[in-house]
Structure 1
């Protein structure tokens, strides 16, 4: 398959019970919605869907293969949260304790009472790095964390939540480093990905970066049926940075009093809290942006994970089966801690301890509305677990969604999964 050719068949395995999933996956390519993509599902621990297709690099026509990894942006946050929760389970970290108990320098400028829970639930009031981060500092995570330690919160911590799109990772990482002496990426490799043979990295080695799919801007405008989500509607198919989307009766044109309209306006205002949160460190200063080797190898725990759909689904499989965290720890971690209007993203969001819960930023098919958790990633990627239904799934792609209301590709795949459970 070459760039611009959407007629090639996809590859992989799909259990007959989930034939609808393959139909949806294939249709996305036929409709020109995908460049390259992969989707994987486990049911009760067993692989039932493992699909891939398209091109990994539109410039060269390099095919997307079985093991093609790609930057999954904020799907990373759930993995980073799990690494920190391992320390919670072992009694090394208390989520109710101040961050300064582990990172003393953090206490200044009104942050002495910010807890680990505030960080994991986006209540710390630190969604923005105020000083521009120089490119030469991109791989020095402790140096970026020091910048946050010197700041004052933008709101009273614990009184509101706002998506810490990039800063979340530097905050989590510094807590992990202070407690263990290793980075979040190293902890993930040693305790989560490595023991399970998962192709998942927070800090991609050179050979992985070389074969990673290249992200590509521009999604062809969806057919009319794609642009409106029905009630009960989409999961985090819309990448959260590109603006989460869909929802009951939501179309591409939002009413003036709709929070999606406020989000759209904020996306055009360079000084909005949303753009300030998303724009520093300034990835756009690197040639190729998220494709640049610096981003792939830096392993930012908010958005730097390079993975395959199979590996990310495998992470959620291990999580929901109790292999990584004790079931009681996971149950408490996915309990919604905050929900409602998000100060950064404008629309409603909901979070447990680092995991998204169903809301406009993580819209979920009706059958998963009470039990699904996970995280979206910019452009449309998705990782989702649901212990009540025994499912784990992940979607990765390289054609980034651009509409304010995002993309419903992942939602339609998730919907087909839930519909197949009957």
Structure 2
């Protein structure tokens, strides 16, 4: 497999590590990038963007990064906090009255961002087409009943997070969510991708597919076990209601829809650029006070959905000890995505990192491909 791109002098071993993911770990199209102090110090890509091996994967190829999207969405919300249009501890219903339904009148924006709102899944079966209808999805989330008393537990929201937070942002700003993204992130940073896969700077879209040979897991698949044990519980409903959430990632409907918790399409360089900016000494995307609050621990406990101990800031997962959630130093923060991708910032090293792939592993966090690259990167720092 021919590897394209460049590495900073002395970091050339990353070429071979990246190639190893193709030789032995199932990658067929992927990108890896690192930004430091405003410069791209690593940008590697290789393989094919389509299943037939006919369309080359390029630096600006967009891959569906699934929950990596949440970090970008959270950043948009924090920018509205910076502008004085959104208050973290004010009830969401103050901005969006319909959201007060079913006992959610006291849910705050902070609780949404750190996954303590109880809004983790639709309770009743919803039609597969719901996820493609932005207004209908937002209205359905506004009406949903929490799975537990808001604020009492930490429970990750795989998909509803996007409609809840995105719907709030549109009401706070009076703007379409995609317009907000283009004005405050995509345009200023020159990003290739965005939410959904259409209408951005790049029209190169990778088809995603499962790894042909699953990688050895870095942790027990506790989520899968919880889904099987209680098919009507919050874990099962969070990932499979409706089933189109798990089965339509290459469809035109998915790519054209606004599903901001899960259908962000970005290049590795996009993610490294966003987080590199946040890791810099003088980030221009957020004021220093807002950023400090965003990365401060807001909630830490065994998550009711992810079935693991997770430390959340405001929309970001904070660096932990486990290899699949270790984002550099203790101050690191970011967000992994189902399948193995990740974007994160390490302010101590001043770097932003992005890894995206078209071959999806079974992990909800980083898998061995990203971990190997990150571990080698840190041997140079």
Q: TM-score, normalised by structure 2?
A: 0.92
Structure 2 distance, partners of 1:350, 1:131, is: 29
Native 8 Å contact 1:219 1:401 kept in 2: no
TM-score with structure 1 setting the length: 0.84
Counterpart of 1:155 in structure 2 is 148
Structure 1 residue matching 2:12: 3-state secondary structure: helix
Instruction: Label 1:211 to 1:27 Cα distance change in 2 as closer, same or farther (>3 A).
Output: same
Q: 1:219 to 1:376 in 2, by over 3 A?
A: farther
Q: Contact 1:39 / 1:396 at 8 angstroms: preserved in 2?
A: yes
Per the alignment, residue 327 of structure 1 pairs with 288
Give runs of aligned pairs for residues 142-181 of structure 1, distance below 5 A. Answer: 142-181=135-174
Look up the match of 2:127: 134
Report whether the alignment pairs 1:316 with 2:257: no
Q: Could you tell me how far apart the structure 2 residues matched to 1:333 and 1:152 are?
A: 27
Match of residue 117, structure 1, among 92, 110, 114: 110
Summarize the Cα distance change of 1:282–1:29 in structure 2 as closer, same or farther, 3 Å threshold: same
Q: Secondary structure at the match of 1:73?
A: coil
Equivalent pair of 1:176/1:184 in contact (CA under 8 Å)? yes
Give the structure 2 partner of residue 193 of structure 1.
186
CA distance in 2, matches of 1:199, 1:406: 23
Give yes or no for contact 2:147–2:234 (8 Å, CA) kept in 1. Answer: no
| Structure 1 unaligned residues grouped into runs of 5+ | 1-7, 228-244, 251-259
Deviates more, 1:139-148 or 1:81-90: 139-148
> 2:338·2:362 contact (CA, 8 Å) conserved in 1?
no
**1:74: how far off?**
0.6
Alignment of 1:90-101 (within 5 A): 90-101=83-94
Secondary structure of 1:205's aligned partner: coil
Secondary structure (helix, strand or coil) at the match of 2:107 reads coil
Instruction: Answer yes or no: is 1:63 the counterpart of 2:23.
Output: no
Q: Which one of 303, 306, 328 corresponds to residue 345 of structure 1? A: 306
**Cα deviation digits, residues 147-206 of structure 1 (max 9, x gap):** 122222111111111110000000101111111122322211111111221112113326
Counterpart in 1 of 2:262? Answer: 303
Structure 2 CA distance for partners of 1:92 and 1:69, relative to 1, 3 Å: same
RMSD: 2.2
Does residue 374 in structure 1 map to residue 334 in structure 2?
yes
Corresponding residue of 1:292: 251
Classify 1:133/1:337 alpha carbon distance in 2 versus 1 (closer, same or farther; 3 Å): same
The aligned counterpart of 2:24 is 31
CA distance in 2, matches of 1:65, 1:261: 33
| Whole-angstrom distance in 2 between the partners of 1:404 and 1:90 | 33
Q: Are the counterparts in 2 of residues 80 and 302 from structure 1 also a CA contact under 8 Å?
A: yes
Q: Quick one: structure 1 residues 62 and 20, their matched pair in 2 at CA, closer, same or farther if it must change by over 3 Å?
A: same
Distance 1:378 1:404, change over 3 A: closer
Cα distance in 2 between the residues matched to 1:384 and 1:405: 12
Contact 1:209 1:293 in 2 (8 A): no
Q: Tell me what 1:102 maps to.
A: 95
The unaligned stretches of length 5 or more in structure 2 are none
Distance 1:409 1:33 in 2: 9
1:45–1:390 Cα contact (<8 Å) kept: no
Equivalenced residues, count = 377
Cα deviations across residues 277-335 of structure 1 (Å, max 9, x unaligned)? Answer: 0113432686xx11112211213110111111111111112222311111221121011
Q: How far 1:68 moved relative to its partner?
A: 1.1
Partner of 1:397: 357
Kept in 1, the 8 Å contact 2:3–2:45? The answer is yes
| Aligned twin of 1:278 | 239
